[in-house]
Structure 1
Amino acid sequence: MIRTGDQYREGLRDGREVWIEGERVTDVTKHPALKPIIDIKARMYDMAYEAQFRDTLSYEEGGERHSIFYKPPREAKDWQDKLVAVDQVLKDIGGVVTRVGDETIGEMWSLTDGRDVLAEIDPRFAANIDHHIQAVIEKDIFHVSANTDPKGDRSLAPQDQDPDLMVHVTKETDAGIIIRGAKYETAAAYADQAYLKPTVGAWSTEKLSDYAVGCIVKMGAPGVKHICRSGFAGKSNPTDYPLANRFDEVEALVVFDDVLIPWEDVFFYRHTRAAQFVRQTLHRYSAFPYVLRLLYNADMMIGAAMWNAKQTGLDKLQAVREKLADLVVYREGINAHLTASLAMAERSPGGLLMPQQSMLYAGRVLACSQLPAMMHIARELCGGQICITPNSDAFAAEGSGQWLDKFYSLNQNWQSDDRRKLLAFARDLLNSDYAGHRLTFVQFAQAPHFNHLAAVYNSFDFSGPLDFVKKSADLSDRIDAPKQ
């Protein structure tokens, strides 16, 4: 069944080892850096119980209600239902969060698509895939992804340096495998479990490798240690930094110090072919909700820039409208790729309905690669005041407040308080430490840019352009037909 917010919080009190700024956290649900984002996730759980959201955020099957986000997409309506659910959640919480579960369950669906391939390589673990996908649905598990290793010196093979710089298996036991190493991951400290998979992709002659492992790791399991980065929440006045204090998704270096992975939680082990196959198909579903988040981020940039133009009366200037149009083109470009990927959706090898891959991956390249330029356009439209405006205490103080009220009040409709609020929001969205962190996060959250381009190359059907030019240029029939 779907969980309540309190049930989610209680599940995090499992004795997990979490560290922030050298301090061992005794209760992650109460720590100032983690509590705000945990409260957001708890709110998402509670929304599914409220009458106005219940039928949008959950569905009934077998006499039980389950989260719409974890429902495997088998028809077009399933994707449309997810779009509506995301829209309701983000508008209710008043911001954008990326790692809340729906964007990583897709990696498990990719395992379903590769089930037969993985079973052919090693038949021991195929049933584990089905079991875990069903477990996420039935238990409403907050499921994240453990992807990026520290790696160390990349000119060296993993076995030629400290072996723990990449996650690997050290021992097999009757109970399961023992793993060591570490992963960087967002939201791990306040998630239930993570799908751990290798990042090594350059295996050439190796058929077997202790680094080729994919499994489920419980975030409170013995030997799992979360060493979090410093959080943005609680470090500043929420009035001055409204986004950083509510929506900071804290990353951690998750250390696996001889962690036992029961055999039922293993998806593949040692076979490099299995690992490479999984890497190739990993994002075929998860890229969609990830890119969808950037659509909402674009909406926030447009909204902040347009409100500033309206406050200052600059919305009537053609030059301002052209820059706003640039933001709109970016936003609608993302929207067009997402819409088209669903309109052209394809049946996957596992029988699911997956977004048309070339269109989806091209949309991801657009959304990620153009984000820095779009943020700068939004900064221009919001003006220099986003970096020089005093904080809320200065507006409230007797000595300075009267002057700030005078110079930040624009007219009878726009008084200094609303002006300050908009500038604080825009600063946090575009200029703050939190904004810089989010921009870097976007560039690497689903692998770096060259991997995005590789996904486009590998998913695009080149036969159409090749055949077209072959005929137009009257090329010889001896040329082999392009392979699909």
Structure 2
Amino acid sequence: MIRTGQEYKDSLSTDRAIWVNGERVKDVTTHPMFAPIVDIRARIHDMAHEQATREVMSYIDDTTGQRNSVANKLPLTVQDWHDKRSAIDAVLDEARGVVTRVGDETVGEMWSLFDGQDVLDEVDPRFSANIRRHIDRAVREDPFHVSANTDPKGDRSLRPQDQDPDMLLHVVRETDSGIVVRGAKYETAAAYANQAFTKPTIANWGDSELSDYAVGFILDMNAPGLKYICRTGFAGRAPADDYPLSNRVDEVDTLVIFDDVEIPWEDVLFYRHTRAATFIRSTLHRYSALPFTYRNLRLADLMIGAALWNVKQTGLERQQAVQEKLAQLACYREGINAHLTAAIAMGTTSPGGLLMPEQSLLYTGRVLATTQLPAMMHLARELCGGQICITPDAASFANPETAPWLEKYYSINDGWVADDRRRLLAFARDLLNSDYAGHRLTFQLFAQSPPFAHLAAVYRNFDWEGPLQMVRSAAGLSDRVAGGATR
């Protein structure tokens, strides 16, 4: 059944080997750099129980009669996807910011492999049985599921065998119980998650010698041999009054070290199977790209809101130049919305029987959302004005010696007093200008895959045949002209 927030916190073993800032972390649920985001993840569980949000966050399974999470539900209908969007809205409203790696964006990666069961069966039917069991477990047991994708990689001009082989995660031996793996992965939220879909990142699987690296499995984050080395969190580094988002919704990224970690056979999804590795790399985001890209829509809403409040405060909203910039932000937001809404409406049945968003629309929407984000952030900075980078801190507004001056120069009228002005500027600074803002910008550009991979996904899924045939007819080309959109 669906868990409570406390049950989630209790599932995070205090025996995990976690470090941040050179410090060994005894308990991520109370450590100041982890506690805010852990609390948000716990709230997601609790929201599924509370009267005000239960119907949005959960559903009753027709077969078992149990209440399960909407985020983990297999998408079978258009309505299922609309329900997922509503659940994301509820979570982000509660967080009062954008959180990405909280489970709904990563669980869909398993659904892609669910569609490839025939590929898994080529090696061992146990592997397709494993993916079915883990998907069912995700629905029934409500774990916090994340994604393990990027390796350190080392020198990319060399094959893994020609350098330290541990630069890419690989199998070092088999046991009666499973496989033993060594290497490292970068994983956002790993230190406070329950499990991860761990998969390879090599793009070219033509070399059979790479088969030891062609491995995918579900990782229990409490497994012995794992070590978590985290980047410095933003929470607690500066006062929350000055950096509200940094202190509330920072998601901590981690280098996860696999020091001869044994993966039970029942958790292995494919192994020594380069075709399965190729399949998962090409289809990995056919579902997860939708909730991932939906975060950009919500980020656009935050930028529009911050910019619009600022021009309203300063009386500039009627100027044509200001309205044009706001319209550009609105076009960006609605462009994302249109792609996602159409991808759902035109969805098709996948090989596994799921409702798969129309892939060309989904991937082109993702390209729009990620490639235009830097320009939209800069546009929002322009609308917020230079005060977001020069406004004094909250302590100065509270100090009796400086407060009267700041009250004088930051009060605009009876409706906009200095404290409201300071709060808006602090929020906009953290959203657009802070260390946290810069990190989030890079994260959004590379979190699912780098921009070239986004374009490669578009190339693989766009219907090139339609334009070819249109021009064949319009130009009067003979039937001898070779067809085929991907030649």
| Alignment map for 1:69-148 (pairs within 5 Å) | 69-148=71-150
- Match for residue 375 of structure 2 among 349, 373, 379: 373
How much has 1:343 moved relative to structure 2? 1.0
SS at match of 1:70: coil
Contact 1:241–1:425 (8 Å) recurs in 2: yes
TM-score by length of 1: 0.99
SS at match of 1:316: coil
How much has 1:13 moved relative to structure 2? 2.7
| Alignment map for 1:237-386 (pairs within 5 Å) | 237-386=239-388
How much has 1:53 moved relative to structure 2? 1.1
Counterpart CA distance in 2 for 1:290 and 1:34 is: 22
CA deviations 1:216-267 (Å, max 9, x no partner) are 1111110111100000001110000000000000000000000000000000
Counterpart CA distance in 2 for 1:248 and 1:388 is: 23
Pick which of 32-41 and 206-215 moved more.
Answer: 206-215
Contact 1:121–1:274 (8 Å) recurs in 2: no
Question: Are 2:41 and 1:36 equivalent residues in the alignment?
Answer: no
Contact 2:217–2:267 (8 Å) recurs in 1: yes
Pick which of 289-298 and 90-99 moved more.
Answer: 90-99
Correspondence for 1:53: 53
Counterpart CA distance in 2 for 1:314 and 1:248 is: 32
Contact 1:194–1:216 (8 Å) recurs in 2: yes
Pick which of 114-123 and 401-410 moved more.
Answer: 114-123
| Alignment map for 1:327-476 (pairs within 5 Å) | 327-476=329-478
Aligned AA for 1:355? P
Question: Are 2:204 and 1:199 equivalent residues in the alignment?
Answer: no
Aligned pair in 2 of structure 1 residues 208, 432: CA closer, same or farther (>3 Å)? closer
Counterpart CA distance in 1 for 2:134 and 2:320 is: 55
Counterpart CA distance in 2 for 1:299 and 1:226 is: 34
5+ residue gaps, structure 2, are none
| Alignment map for 1:172-251 (pairs within 5 Å) | 172-206=174-208, 209-251=211-253
Aligned AA for 2:47? M
Counterpart CA distance in 2 for 1:176 and 1:374 is: 48
Contact 2:56–2:83 (8 Å) recurs in 1: yes
How much has 1:202 moved relative to structure 2? 1.3
Aligned AA for 2:415? N
Contact 1:287–1:360 (8 Å) recurs in 2: yes
How much has 1:205 moved relative to structure 2? 3.6
Correspondence for 2:483: 481
CA deviations 1:68-97 (Å, max 9, x no partner) are 110000011111111111112211221110
Counterpart CA distance in 1 for 2:94 and 2:451 is: 32
SS at match of 1:261: strand
| Alignment map for 1:1-16 (pairs within 5 Å) | 1-16=1-16
Counterpart CA distance in 1 for 2:163 and 2:306 is: 49
Counterpart CA distance in 1 for 2:205 and 2:127 is: 22
Counterpart CA distance in 2 for 1:123 and 1:9 is: 35
Counterpart CA distance in 2 for 1:160 and 1:478 is: 48
How much has 1:14 moved relative to structure 2? 4.6
TM-score by length of 2: 0.98
Contact 1:212–1:269 (8 Å) recurs in 2: yes
How much has 1:483 moved relative to structure 2? 5.6
Number of residue pairs aligned between Structure 1 and Structure 2: 484
How much has 1:208 moved relative to structure 2? 5.8
Contact 2:468–2:485 (8 Å) recurs in 1: no
SS at match of 1:151: coil
Aligned AA for 2:60? E
Counterpart CA distance in 1 for 2:381 and 2:156 is: 37
Contact 1:13–1:28 (8 Å) recurs in 2: no
CA deviations 1:179-205 (Å, max 9, x no partner) are 000001100001001010000111224
Counterpart CA distance in 1 for 2:87 and 2:187 is: 25
CA deviations 1:329-354 (Å, max 9, x no partner) are 10000001001101111110100001
Pick which of 83-92 and 70-79 moved more.
Answer: 83-92
How much has 1:55 moved relative to structure 2? 1.4
Contact 1:207–1:273 (8 Å) recurs in 2: no
CA deviations 1:373-396 (Å, max 9, x no partner) are 000000000000000000000000
CA deviations 1:8-57 (Å, max 9, x no partner) are 00101351111101111111101100000000011111111111111111
Aligned AA for 1:159? Q
- Match for residue 161 of structure 2 among 128, 149, 159: 159
SS at match of 2:212: strand
SS at match of 1:209: helix
Contact 2:95–2:248 (8 Å) recurs in 1: no
Aligned AA for 1:27? D
SS at match of 1:243: helix
5+ residue gaps, structure 1, are none
SS at match of 1:423: helix
Identity of aligned residues (%): 64
TM-align CA RMSD: 1.0
Aligned AA for 2:219? V
Aligned pair in 2 of structure 1 residues 207, 156: CA closer, same or farther (>3 Å)? closer
Counterpart CA distance in 2 for 1:94 and 1:278 is: 34
Aligned AA for 1:124? R
SS at match of 1:51: coil
SS at match of 1:117: helix
Counterpart CA distance in 1 for 2:408 and 2:285 is: 52
Structure 1 runs of 4+ aligned residues shifted over 6 Å read: none
Correspondence for 2:18: 18
